[in-house]
Amino acid sequence: MSGPLTGLRVIEFAGLGPAPFCAMLLADCGAEVVRIDRPGAEDPLGQRRDPLTRGRRSLALDLKRPEAVAAALRLIDGADALIEGFRPGVMERLGLGPDLCLARNPRLVYGRMTGWGQTGPLAERAGHDITYTALSGALHAIGPAGAPVVPLNLVADLGGGGMVLAFGLVAALWEASRSGRGQVIDAAMTDGAALMMAMVYGLKGNGLWSGARTDNLIDGGYPFYGTYRCADGKWLAIGPLEERFLRLFLDRIGLDDPALAPPIAKADWPAARDRLAAWLATRPRGEWLERVEGSDACVAPVLDLDEAPLHPHNRARGSFVEQDGMVMPAPAPRFSRTPARAGAPPGDPGGDGSAVLAEAGFSAAEIERLLGAASA
């Protein structure tokens, strides 16, 4: 491992979505992450390989058995950080709660990933990205004037969840390196989704954001910040917000229309959008891209999942990698001296158990008892 987190040891309790995404970020940056899976676990989405589990080893333990819990505690004793994504109270009932773990390992940073948080009226309720995003205000702000648009699981699961937890872990680890004391991180996806809306709440607080969808500068309301269909059915994303970029854009696409010259009154936005849409629908996407090539017109093609890895910029940057025939995003960000890298493809759950336990000082007899019982 060569990343900036080389030497960091993390125990991850297998979960879904944001917790494994957080663990992937740490592993990409060089952390040694051991994932504790359930015996016989299968991917709930039916995936043969999940990129979110790359770069770490797996140990299968049946945490309903006291000896398995004792083994997990021994591994936690030697760890710098822990990641778990269960509902509040589950780790405590397993005998792996933060009070016990921190008493044994006072430097441990204990990361807890939930949808609603460890406290609050909804803490015990089930949910998914869409429900956490809804509670933050973000879902209401995304989409056309009709129904809000589901932003995949990017806002709460991955951005407000996994990334915020990864930031919290690194921040707490930095503090622990000076104080010698760990702590518990309560990372709630609904909190993180709200945090990602800081700029929009700022615009609203300054009277620059209305409560209606497609009525604002960056939500598709402004005619020069949106997506447009071309003659071949493909789409362009345009965003020349600044006047100099807008004038350049209009010049490059050959559209000399006084109704589109800046500044455009808000009342005229719908008509301007219609005029621009009609113009861009007259030619295929490739022709428009040729016209704006090499300029600051702020235009990009809306690429699908097959096209994006092949784009010349993404290829030059190495933004995607391939493992065992599967294309996946490469680690980010870039480090000048200690580069991150996509770790080994995920293996079978529990496939590294013997090696992980042996390195942690378990005897051959202990390993046989633990793993033999797990596979029974």
Cβ-contact 283, 231 below 8 angstroms? yes
Distance CA 127, CA 131 (A): 6
Q: Which of 129, 157, 219, 352 is catalytic?
A: 157
Q: Which of 128, 215, 268, 311 is catalytic?
A: 128
Cβ-contact 228, 281 below 8 angstroms? yes
Cβ-contact 185, 110 below 8 angstroms? yes
| Residue 93: both structure tokens together | 């009932």
The full length of the chain comes to 376
| Residue 61: both structure tokens together | 């333990």
Bridge partners of 104? none
Among 152, 166, 182, 218, which Cα is nearest to 77's? Answer: 182
Residue 106: CA atoms inside 13 Å, Cβ hemisphere, count?
A: 3
Bridge partners of 73? none
| Residue 145: both structure tokens together | 């004037």
For the question of residue 99 being annotated catalytic, the response is no
Q: Show Cβ contacts of residue 173 under 8 Å, excluding neighbours closer than 6 positions.
A: 8, 80, 81, 109
Among 50, 59, 47, which Cα is nearest to 20's? Answer: 50
Angle 282-286-289 from CA coordinates, rounded to 5°:
95
For the question of residue 232 being annotated catalytic, the response is no
Q: Edge-to-edge strands of the sheet including 235-238?
A: 226-229, 235-238, 299-301
| Residue 237: both structure tokens together | 């994303």
| Residues annotated as part of the active site | 128, 157
